[in-house]
Amino acid sequence: MFGRRVDGRVLKKIDPIVALTPYLMPMRCDAQVFLNYRLDYEKMARYIVEQGNLGNHFTFLELLIAAFVRVVSELPDVNRFVSNKRLYARTQLTVSFVALKQTSDVNAIEENTVKCYFDPRDTIFDVAERVSAAIEAARKEEADNSTMKVAKLLLNPILANIIVHTARFLDRYGIMPNYIQDASPFHTSLFVTHMGSIGMPAVNHHIYNFGTTSLFFSMGSVIRENVTGPDGKVTRKRYLPVGVTADERICAGATYAKLVAKMIHYLENPSLLETPPETVTFEEGNEYSLPKPKKKRLKKQEEQSVAG
């Protein structure tokens, strides 16, 4: 309350224009900026195949997330959010996405939402391990993470209205219970959707007024085009389209330009993500924290360690 939150620290040293924008645009839907980019599919695909031959199985989603994690280590400004018209630096680095569940009914489509926690020092190997483990757990038919448990609780319309309105109020003043915040995929640094996995083009997805999401990335189906080279020859090229929706209130436009340029650089040169960054920058000493394992999970890990 009064500017204190578990998931963020109020920023004091910020550009006056940036500090003013939440008063001019109080909601995220007021401040959405839509961008569209095309990545060199060939370079990413070639890297994935090369690493697969070495026994490292990466996906395009993992490459995208790894590039974002690396850029946040260099540009912590993009890991901010606005709440109650105040600008916060996050205390965690997280990415949310949706995973399709494996069901016994081939005609049924069930989804599970995942929120992964990262360290800005993570390499592509670290990111891939975290993401693949989260997806494997979420895709099981019986899987019900905290997000799904809360969602099922809201099936009753009356109860849903009461809980959501209460959650909005508590979130506005930074006193939302940790359980609800951890369960919410909308309280995250970045939300990613892989539209290409269901044969859809990239979209410019809206960012949610509820929660603290400031960035939304959408990956679409591969685009194939005939391109004329400098020598006048026509070649067939493949591109991976990405739609970006950003909350323009959290940082200067020049910072967003750097975010995009750096991400494209890393995605077209993914081998740079194999080693940790030499230095990591944090805003006002605000280092990120990984969630502590729950007692039940910790006990289970200890039992498995003893058994091993």
pLDDT band at 1, cuts 50/70/90?
Answer: low
Query: Strand 86-90 and strand 234-247: pairing?
Result: unpaired
Output the CA angle 32-34-37, nearest 5 degrees: 150
Helices 41-53 and 253-268 pack at an angle, to 10 degrees, of 50
pLDDT band at 183, cuts 50/70/90?
Answer: confident
pLDDT exceeds cutoff 90 at 177 = no
Q: Is residue 302 part of a domain?
A: yes
Q: Which amino acid is at 301?
A: Q
Q: In a 10 Å sphere around its CB, with 0-12 CB exposed, 13-18 middle and 19+ buried, how is residue 81 labelled?
A: buried
CA distance 243 to 218: 5
Task: List, for residues 249-278, the tens digit of each pLDDT value.
Answer: 999 889 999 999 999 999 999 999 999 999
Q: Is residue 196 part of a domain?
A: yes
What mean pLDDT comes out for the span 28-47? Answer: 94
What mean pLDDT comes out for the span 132-154? Answer: 67
pLDDT at 302: 45
Q: Is residue 172 part of a domain?
A: no
* Poorest-pLDDT segment among 26-30, 146-150, 163-167, 206-210: 146-150
Q: Which domain holds residue 281?
A: 8-141+188-307
pLDDT exceeds cutoff 50 at 291 = yes
239: domain CATH number?
A: 3.30.559.10
- What percentage of the chain exceeds 70 in pLDDT? 84
Q: In a 10 Å sphere around its CB, with 0-12 CB exposed, 13-18 middle and 19+ buried, how is residue 245 labelled?
A: buried
Q: Is residue 38 part of a domain?
A: yes
Please count the structural domains in the chain: 1
Q: Is residue 24 part of a domain?
A: yes
Computed over every residue of the chain, the mean pLDDT equals 85
What mean pLDDT comes out for the span 286-293? Answer: 74
Q: Is residue 160 part of a domain?
A: no
pLDDT band at 149, cuts 50/70/90?
Answer: low
pLDDT band at 241, cuts 50/70/90?
Answer: very high
pLDDT exceeds cutoff 60 at 298 = no
Q: Helices (DSSP H) in 41-156: which residue ranges?
A: 41-53, 60-74, 124-139, 146-153
pLDDT at 284: 81
Predicted TM-score (pTM) of this structure: 0.86
* Poorest-pLDDT segment among 170-184, 227-241, 249-263: 170-184
Look at 166 and 276; give whichever has higher pLDDT.
276
Q: Is residue 296 part of a domain?
A: yes
Helix, strand, coil in percent for the chain, rounding step 5: 40, 20, 35
CA distance 277 to 280: 7
Q: Is residue 2 part of a domain?
A: no
